[in-house]
Amino acid sequence: MKHLKTILSVLLACAAVGCLIAAGVILFRQKQNDSRSQETLDELRASAEALKNAESSGPSAESSASDLESAQETPEPSPEPTAVPEPAPVPVENPYRDSFLANEDMAAWIQIPGTPVDYPVMWTPEDEEYYLLRGFDGKSDNNGCLILDTDSCLNPLTTNLIIHGHNMKSGAMFGSLTEYEDADFCEKHKSIILYTKELQRNYEVIAVFRSQVYKKTDQVFKFYKFFQADTPEEFDDFYQNIKDLSLYDTGVTAEFGDHFLTLSTCVYHVDRGRFVVVAKETEPGDLYLPVDEEEKAEHE
């Protein structure tokens, strides 16, 4: 009997050691995956930064000389002054071209200057949760990716775009979003940029609030159900509710015809709680040249 107890004790000890080893291996692999995903994102950011710097470096010396010669030529007198039409925007290279080429599931790239939010936004209409625990490369990653709600659409543009992201303790993804509870923080970080394939969309924070995912039968305002306003009444219902819920007055207003960007992450003040930042679209930035299909084939 004593011998049997000894054997059982040894077996239990071995099982415990085995569990610890297995847990260690899983944790090690998770860290490896997270590290690999971070390296991928860093490479994509570096590529975008290089393209931005190239665009902002200005015209070449050759074009500058040509412009100078043109300016020095004596223009022919015009019989009468004519109205000069505003020049059409000239499309430029998309700074996130390489990211769009690398993964066709990427719908946009979001940046909140001065914060850690600087990530691709994935859109998979057939399976909204595909990137919930996957990185940009599609491999396992606890951080997951930022996800554009499948009921949101960039082309044609819906009234409201909703982006979901994990509230990571490390600050990754939307882990820093709750800092918007502080009105001073919002004032310093009120600008949000969404780089799509077609253009740079700019936004300004209009409301910040806490909410939750309600039961289907609950007759309450559900921010996550609003995507399109076809009438002023539908628009005003969403607008008034987010303004009433907002933790403070941002000073930003909106009217029918405006577009919104809603960022949502989990918080735990209630069951299935959500922290929400809503921004209104302002004047757009650069228009972008289309992604070269030949370049896309080279990436594949």
Tell me how far apart the terminal alpha carbons of the chain are, to the nearest angstrom.
66
What does the buried/exposed string (b/e) look like for 166-181 if buried means 16 or more CB atoms within 10 Å of the residue's CB?
A: bbbeeebbbbbbbbbb
Tell me the residue length of the chain: 300
According to the model, what pLDDT value does residue 31 have? 61
> Residue-wise pLDDT tens for the chain (300 aa)?
666 666 666 556 555 555 455 445 444 555 656 677 889 999 999 999 998 888 776 554 344 444 434 444 555 655 666 666 777 789 999 999 999 999 999 999 999 999 999 999 999 999 999 999 999 999 999 999 999 999 999 999 999 999 999 999 999 999 999 999 999 999 999 999 999 999 999 999 999 999 999 999 999 999 999 999 999 999 999 999 999 999 999 999 999 999 999 999 999 999 999 999 999 999 999 999 998 755 655 555
Scanning the structure block, which residue is given the tokens 């909410």?
Answer: 211
Question: Shortest CA distance to 127 belongs to which of 102, 148, 99, 142?
Answer: 148
Q: Annotated active-site positions, please?
A: 166, 266
Contacts of 161 (CB under 8 A, 6+ apart): 148, 149, 152, 154, 194, 259, 260, 261, 262
Parallel, antiparallel or unpaired: strands 118-122 and 200-212:
unpaired
Domains of the chain: 97-299 (2.40.260.10)
E strands within 83-199? 106-111, 118-122, 146-148, 160-164, 191-195
According to the model, what pLDDT value does residue 54 have? 81
In contact, 200 and 192? CB cutoff 8 Å: no
Question: Dihedrals φ, ψ of 142, to 5°?
Answer: -60, -30
Residue type, 299: H
Residues paired with residue 106 on neighbouring β-strands, in sequence order: 122
According to the model, what pLDDT value does residue 190 have? 98
